[in-house]
Amino acid sequence: MSDAQDHAAEALEEVADALRDARLAFQVAEDLTRATLKSNTRGVPDAAVLRANPVVEGRRPVDDALAQLERARHKVLVAIFAVALEDGMTIAELARNYGFSRQLASRYAKEARATRSQE
């Protein structure tokens, strides 16, 4: 395996871990949300419910998990672009494959090349 492939495999592992962490954070947030709904007959929390169930307990872990996932997704995209470019794929092919603009694909390609040259 090439260095680019090794980096891509590591980045994919990080995405899998981040997805797991996000799933767990979402589950906790869902459980807190459902508990809040059950504690109020109208389904809308009032001041007493909010005081008893601080939103920050569910929000912060979700925010952190989403930020971690976004960093991991970016890293894996750059790593996969490095492998794909090394294997002869064009920026246009990568843009079509990922379903985003050629301009965005070009930015990822530029970052992938810069990352490779730093190694």
Domain range holding 86? 3-118
Give ∠ CA 8-111-90 in degrees, rounded to 5.
Answer: 75
Query: Which amino acid appears at position 58 of this protein?
Result: G
What is the pTM (predicted TM-score) of this model? 0.81
> In whole angstroms, what is the distance from residue 88 CA to residue 37 CA?
54
Instruction: List pLDDT tens digits, range 80-91.
Output: 999 999 999 999
Residues 15-64: tens digit of each pLDDT: 999 999 999 999 998 988 887 777 765 666 678 777 777 777 778 999 99
* Burial category of 102 from C-beta neighbours within 10 Å (exposed 0-12, middle 13-18, buried 19 and up): middle
Total domains, the chain: 1
